[in-house]
Structure 1
Amino acid sequence: MRSNEQRSRGFKSKLFGALGGALLLTVGAAGAAAVTDNLAPTVKYPQPCKKGAVCQTDNKDVTYYMDSSGEFKLEAVDRTIVTNMLKSQYSPTDLVIKYDSTPTFSGSAETDVVWQEGSKGVSDDAAGTTWCDDPVSGNRCDQQVIRIRGNGTYDPSITCHEMGHAVGLLHGNNAYPMLDREDARLGCMIAKGYNATLGSNNVSNINGNY
């Protein structure tokens, strides 16, 4: 969940000092080194998948749907932001991102990520939230819901952030080794600032897992 309070409108450029004795994890197709493990579960976030927890999606083939009618319908501009963000940030990873125009909401092959626009169920200090709607075995979730406030709140940063939670990415305080929640190496998974890119650490963890 990305905090709505104190969200700045400039890209963060300050890099925090390297953690003393930080564990380097060599993962990903190109062998890139991740500075920390921030993909659930971690030493700091060991719980299995359940409703309300951050979970991995159930496999590398990720289907998504954007609500097109009703209370949580995305406006055209927000649909474009989601589409462009997924294409630029998540499609280049080992995940296979595909739009599902005929979504499934029950059974064993549900649409993986459902995008919604609205404030219902979103805490007052948050710009958006992601939750697992259908936990499966271990650390995996069959369907996740992303709900982000309207009125201009949909932007490349918050969409990248909430999609990160939908594939299992965590904030810095739940990573191992721990990082400051605003450490620029967390890319769009920083907690409050503005960053619209996944960054190499998140890409490495995604590719190493999926």
Structure 2
Amino acid sequence: MIAMALVPLMIAVGVAWAAATDNIFPTRWTGAFCQLGGGPPCLTDNREVYFYMDSNGEYELESEDRATVNAAIDGELRPTDLAFHYDSSPVFEGSAETDIIYQEGSTGLPDSAAGMTWCNALGSGPSECDQQYIRIRGAGAYIYERVCHETGHAVGLQHGDNSYPTLDNLDSRLGCMRTPSYGHPDLGSNNRENINDNY
């Protein structure tokens, strides 16, 4: 009887989680409830992620910015358990909204921010967002590592100071989730493991 009680404990110890930190929503420091328009980045509502790049009006992405979004998704997010699909007919209301809307512009961005991600419509679970917006400044700010960073937020990845255990926001294990993101283009194994474990 004693030997049998020890076996599960030994198995549990033998499969320790290898990620440096838990930095996917919710964490010990972020709470569990997604918030509209602000707060920590939430989870997307499923592993099938439909995205749209604004193609007209004030927030239209230029062709080089569209290429950057596609390159970052192909290089960093598609190799995870998430499945990214371009939505050429985006849905902006209702229960089947397009998951991520990419925009170019500075309206609503704090002066200190090159980009921002926010939840526009809550999902069915308390930690989920049905539709998230990513807005990145123009004039050279739409770069690969920033797209990786903001897309990471749109699937729930947090900065180091919102992780558990906390890491410095520039800790190399955070990959493109380091802040500031400039010069850190790779998603990294820690973020990949958190995404795959969650989705």
Asked if TM exceeds 0.5, the reply is yes
Q: Which amino acid aligns with 1:153?
A: A
User: 2:23 maps to which residue?
Assistant: 38
CA distance in 1, matches of 2:101, 2:131: 8
Equivalent position to 2:97, from 102, 110, 126: 110
Q: Which amino acid aligns with 2:98?
A: T
User: 1:154 maps to which residue?
Assistant: 142
Whether the aligned pair in 2 keeps the contact of 1:65 and 1:115 (CA below 8 Å) is yes
Q: Which amino acid aligns with 1:170?
A: Q
Q: Which amino acid aligns with 1:197?
A: D
User: 1:16 maps to which residue?
Assistant: none
Higher helix fraction (1 or 2): 2
Residues 146-190 of structure 1 show CA distances to partners (whole Å, capped at 9, x for unaligned) of: 000000100011100000100000000000011001001000000
Greater relative CO, 1 or 2 (CA 8 Å, sep 6+): 1
- Give the 3-state SS of the residue equivalent to 1:145 in structure 2: strand
CA distance in 1, matches of 2:137, 2:184: 18
Question: Percent same amino acid among aligned pairs?
Answer: 52
- Cα gap change, 1:156 to 1:132, in 2 (>3 Å): same
User: 2:116 maps to which residue?
Assistant: 129
CA distance in 2, matches of 1:97, 1:83: 10
Equivalent position to 2:33, from 45, 48, 53: 48
Q: How many residues align?
A: 181
Structure 2: gaps spanning 5 or more residues: 1-14
Give, in angstroms, the shift of residue 45 of structure 1: 1.3
Structure 1 position 119 matched with structure 2 position 103: no
Normalization by structure 1: what TM-score? 0.84
Give, in angstroms, the shift of residue 50 of structure 1: 1.0
Q: Which amino acid aligns with 2:88?
A: S
Structure 1 position 203 matched with structure 2 position 188: no
- Give the 3-state SS of the residue equivalent to 1:206 in structure 2: helix
CA distance in 1, matches of 2:143, 2:122: 28
Give, in angstroms, the shift of residue 25 of structure 1: 5.7
Residues 33-70 of structure 1 show CA distances to partners (whole Å, capped at 9, x for unaligned) of: 21100001011111400111210000000000000000
Structure exhibiting the larger radius of gyration computed from Cα positions? 2
CA distance in 2, matches of 1:47, 1:110: 22
Q: Which amino acid aligns with 1:185?
A: R
Residues 59-90 of structure 1 show CA distances to partners (whole Å, capped at 9, x for unaligned) of: 00000000000000000000000001100100
Whether the aligned pair in 2 keeps the contact of 1:161 and 1:188 (CA below 8 Å) is yes
Residues 77-104 of structure 1 show CA distances to partners (whole Å, capped at 9, x for unaligned) of: 0000000110010001000000000000
Whether the aligned pair in 2 keeps the contact of 1:25 and 1:34 (CA below 8 Å) is no
CA RMSD of aligned residues (A): 1.1
